[in-house]
Amino acid sequence: MDKVLLIKDSDFPEAKMPVMADQGCSGYDLYSAEQTVVNPGQVVMVRTGLKLGYLHPDYEIQIRPRSGNAAKKGLTVTNAPGTVDSSYRGAICVLLHVVKQEPVTINVGDRIAQMVVCPVVRPELAWTDKPVESDRGEKGFGSSGVVGDLSKLDIPMKGGIAGTKDWSS
């Protein structure tokens, strides 16, 4: 893979180059280039002070939450994973919200998310009238045994509650 080229926005001289904590990490830490407060129920776009200069067309950047922020502060990425397409050349920002009841202060230089460079697969799409048979068939949420009895879940679905036998109406 070619290098990922990043541009430091001249409006944010304190912007930091994303770094991996160690060689076993899949993501590069992204840092805030501004101070802000994220209040409960609010979504805040936090600037990193970076712009994408170049990314090979066979890749994308995914913006993901940092597990430590989520566990300790309840701070997470709203549209996780956020996608930065290879053709994008604007500012790299992170949409954050807090799921706990306390506001979270973001300071300049705080690690706010991680970016993971991922390959993009572009298969040809085609119509079909009938699906290719599989062992699973149309069994969906929880059918592999992770959730258990779906009839106990209160998830509104068109035609009834998740777990009812007829989801087609």
Can you give the pLDDT at residue 137?
82
For residues 54 and 31, what is the distance between their CA atoms, to the nearest angstrom? 19
Kindly compute the dihedral angle of the four CA atoms of residues 55, 57, 63, 68, in this order, to the nearest 10 degrees: -70
Instruction: Give 117's pLDDT tier (boundaries 50, 70, 90).
Output: very high
Predicted pLDDT of residue 2: 76
For the four alpha carbons of 29, 35, 37 and 43, in that order, the dihedral sign comes to negative
118: left (phi over 0), alpha (psi -120 to 50) or beta: beta
Tokens of 101: 């009841």
CATH architecture of 5-119: Distorted Sandwich (2.70)
* pLDDT given for residue 140 in this prediction: 74
Distance CA 30, CA 70 (A): 15
Query: Residue 81's pLDDT is what?
Result: 95
pLDDT digits (tens, 9 = 90+) for 33-89: 999 999 999 999 999 999 999 999 999 999 999 999 999 999 999 999 999 999 999
Q: What's the pTM value of the predicted model, to 2 decimals?
A: 0.79
pLDDT-derived band of residue 1, with 50, 70 and 90 as boundaries? low
* pLDDT (tens digit per residue) in 38-51: 999 999 999 999 99
pLDDT band for 158, please (50, 70, 90 cuts).
low
Q: What is the pLDDT of residues 96-110, one digit of tens each?
A: 999 999 999 999 999
The residue assigned the tokens 């101070």 is 35
Band of pLDDT at residue 151, cut at 50, 70 and 90: low
Alpha-helix residue ranges (DSSP H) falling in the chain: 67-73
**Does 167 have pLDDT greater than 50?**
no
Q: Where are the domains of the chain?
A: 5-119, 138-169
147 pLDDT tier (thresholds 50, 70, 90): low
